[in-house]
Structure 1
Amino acid sequence: MKKLTAVSLSGGVDSLVAAYLLKNEGHDLIGLHFTIGYGTNQTTININRIAKQLDIPIKIIDCAAEFKSKVVDYFTKTYLSGKTPNPCMVCNRLIKFGLILSCARKMGASMLATGHYARITEDTQGRFHLLKGVDKIKDQSYFLARLTQEQLSAAMFPLGKFTKSEVKNIAKKQGLKAITQNESQDICFIKGKTYGQFLTAQSCYEPTPGLIEDVSGNTIGEHNGLHFFTIGQRRGINCPASEPYYVVGIDPGQNRLIVGFKEELLSPGLKTVKINWIIHPPDNKISVSTRIRGRQDPEPSKLYPIDNETALIRFAKPQSAVTPGQGAVFYKGSEVLGSGWIEKFR
């Protein structure tokens, strides 16, 4: 008897093709479509069109309450603390490969497949390794770097060995039609609004005007609320100067926005905390490439472990807009070694 495999179906072409590939390989499939309580329900209404194309059953899972408590609340609280959150990394660990994987197992599935562009291998000792997808532009290993060994052991990424253009060609050749044309977004629950507008609408937010200071501590203007800003931002500062100002620091304790010129965004390194190691934690410094945001190439750097969950990163070349709250993901070639949260830049 074949084992049951669950596949997460968003309604987009990536998850649709992922499911097709698995079925073509002979997997016994069940589709899972989860709702988060934000946006329209058109995708949910039309999900039966996906079921008919693939000829598989699809179950709809209401994740709204858990998504709100574990992802949206994290998002708002992180902004309140003066940091910039990365909800996609949190969602992958707590919702997709947390709640959804748990639901899949209760239905009898042993594996959960998604349409992510990444790869997984298993070594002879039974340890799982997370690798970049072969499509350098679509690679999503950064957003999966918080997954644990247990989660990776149950994860399948059928698209990891394909490029986006190849996936589109498969869909066209097989007559597979997505019910949504939207590309995956990091902030799926914010549509038609800016981050600032979304945060202002949350019950825990009350925009509080405060001072804008330069890096020398001189007051040069006022802001309408720190949650409208993130490190590296240029728009919205509105302080005349000989060259553009950028946000270089956010001080929620004193409600200060700190700005500087472009060169003052450069940082030689960072501290990273709450590290999730996919490899065994190193005892001594190692050479890595560090990615500090999802769509940036990893940069050559040295990692200096402080303990198993904390490390310092020193870049070979200073990097711009190192942002507290974002994920720092460490690579060796194509392999993800681990990831931590950026606590502060040095």
Structure 2
Amino acid sequence: MKILVAMSGGVDSSVAARLLTDAGNECIGCTMKLYGNEDAGISRAHTCCSLDDVEDARSVAHRLGMPYYVFNFSDDFRATVIDKFVDSYLHGMTPNPCIDCNRYMKFGKLYERAKILGCDHIATGHYARIEYRDGKYLLKKAVDPSKDQSYVLYAMTQDELAHTLFPLGGMCKTETRRVADEGGLINADKPDSQDICFVPDGDYARIIELHTGKPTTPGNFVDRDGNILGRHNGIIRYTIGQHKGLGIPLPGKRYVSALDPVKNTVTLGEEAELYSSHAHVGDFNWISGEAPTAPLRCKVKIRYRQPEQWASVCPDADGTVNVTFDEPQRAITPGQAAVLYDGDTVLGGGVILPSDR
């Protein structure tokens, strides 16, 4: 097969490339340039850290005898990922930009580039699996539950699954590093990335202000009855469930329980007020390509590191999905993804919408 391998400069995508070349495939390595220094608030006088990743990827590709390219997708990334990230925070939601990057960049723009290059498939270093059964492609969890990334891949279509390879889906991370070390890859011991790539210091508010060109507007902290408790520094600095960094004296521990971008208020309450049994989910993608015609029982995951929970799921005629959990869940957060599982198979997922408790 002729395969376009997405190489981030990390150990996972490098080992994916090695496994595929060792298997005799014709591989082309590539790295996507997704943002410039100015997008991440880094001085033009400094070299963006992503250039180090490019050199690591180039080194691995050279060692494996693969052609290697850097594709500049920064305009598309800004339009489909960064702008959406900024807009979500301004509307009181907490987005997961890695999901949009996978959806629009890795399995959107990169897939288009692969077809231009005459490649049969693209491959990434994600920890997930793809199976073909009864005429449909299935997206499944990785064998290593501690590294499973199926949650951020729920937006994949049948066509994308048909032309994608996840060589690491059946491996553990320790095995991945062993393969890299045995292959003499330069990044065998490179730490995993943790932060959102275009927010290298974790200061989301600074990036949002950079892209809007104006500081956020302070407003009122209120309780559930609307009583003013103090002043906040802008709703983009808060997320549902947060209790640290509120900056005002309160009797007992209080948590962010709601954000209202219209009134510019942040509602604070006791921890019990964070629990809800319902989530309304939009922009939904069913992996099979077909929405169920009746309610179903399955497990649902509402954040990356949380175990999925049993729920009843009801698809609506407008394409949205209503999720009712068997047990109340803590801090169901608008903007995060709700992903449905049947055992280790991903049924689909979407974005949690703002709703009244």
Q: TM-score range by the shorter chain?
A: over 0.9
Q: Rate the CA distance shift 1:160–1:46 in 2: closer, same or farther, 3 A.
A: closer
Q: Rate the CA distance shift 1:135–1:46 in 2: closer, same or farther, 3 A.
A: closer
CA distance in 2, matches of 1:161, 1:193: 31
- Kept in 2: contact 1:286–1:302 (CA 8 A): yes
SS at match of 1:139: coil
SS at match of 1:59: strand
* Paired residues for 1:301-340 under 5 Å: 301-307=311-317, 309-340=319-350
CA distance in 1, matches of 2:99, 2:156: 9
* Paired residues for 1:231-310 under 5 Å: 231-279=240-288, 280-307=290-317, 309-310=319-320
CA distance in 2, matches of 1:308, 1:134: 35
Give the C-alpha shift of residue 49 in structure 1: 1.2
**2:120 pairs with 1:110:** yes
Instruction: Name whichever of 41-50 and 87-96 sits farther off.
Output: 41-50
Q: What amino acid sits opposite 2:244 in the alignment?
A: R
* Paired residues for 1:28-177 under 5 Å: 28-38=26-36, 39-40=48-49, 41-125=51-135, 127-177=136-186
- Kept in 2: contact 1:273–1:342 (CA 8 A): yes
* Unaligned residue ranges in structure 2 (runs of 5+): 37-47
Q: Rate the CA distance shift 1:333–1:90 in 2: closer, same or farther, 3 A.
A: same
- Kept in 2: contact 1:286–1:303 (CA 8 A): yes
Partner of 1:21: 19
Q: What amino acid sits opposite 1:248 in the alignment?
A: S
Q: What amino acid sits opposite 2:52 in the alignment?
A: Q
Cα-to-partner distance string for 1:280-331 (whole Å, 9 max, x where unaligned):
3111111111000111111111101212621111111111110011110000
Q: What amino acid sits opposite 1:194 in the alignment?
A: D
- Runs of 4+ more than 3 Å apart: none
Cα-to-partner distance string for 1:230-269 (whole Å, 9 max, x where unaligned):
1111122123233211111000001001111111111111
Q: What amino acid sits opposite 2:179 in the alignment?
A: I
CA distance in 2, matches of 1:173, 1:122: 32
Give the C-alpha shift of residue 209 in structure 1: 0.8
Q: What amino acid sits opposite 2:131 in the alignment?
A: T
* Paired residues for 1:174-193 under 5 Å: 174-178=183-187, 181-185=190-194, 187-193=196-202
CA distance in 2, matches of 1:73, 1:180: 34
CA distance in 1, matches of 2:323, 2:342: 14
Give the C-alpha shift of residue 186 in structure 1: 6.0
SS at match of 2:138: strand
Instruction: Name whichever of 239-248 and 25-34 sits farther off.
Output: 239-248
CA distance in 2, matches of 1:199, 1:180: 33
Aligned residues: 343
Partner of 1:5: 3
- Kept in 1: contact 2:196–2:202 (CA 8 A): no
SS at match of 2:281: strand
* Unaligned residue ranges in structure 1 (runs of 5+): none
- Kept in 2: contact 1:11–1:179 (CA 8 A): no
CA RMSD of aligned residues (A): 1.6
Q: Rate the CA distance shift 1:342–1:204 in 2: closer, same or farther, 3 A.
A: farther
SS at match of 2:316: strand
- Kept in 2: contact 1:275–1:308 (CA 8 A): no
SS at match of 1:170: helix
CA distance in 2, matches of 1:169, 1:180: 10
- Kept in 2: contact 1:11–1:180 (CA 8 A): no
State, as a whole percentage, how many aligned pairs show the same letter: 37
CA distance in 1, matches of 2:313, 2:134: 27
Q: Rate the CA distance shift 1:295–1:242 in 2: closer, same or farther, 3 A.
A: same
Q: What amino acid sits opposite 2:332 in the alignment?
A: V
CA distance in 2, matches of 1:165, 1:237: 40
TM norm structure 1: 0.95
CA distance in 2, matches of 1:288, 1:342: 17
CA distance in 2, matches of 1:96, 1:318: 35
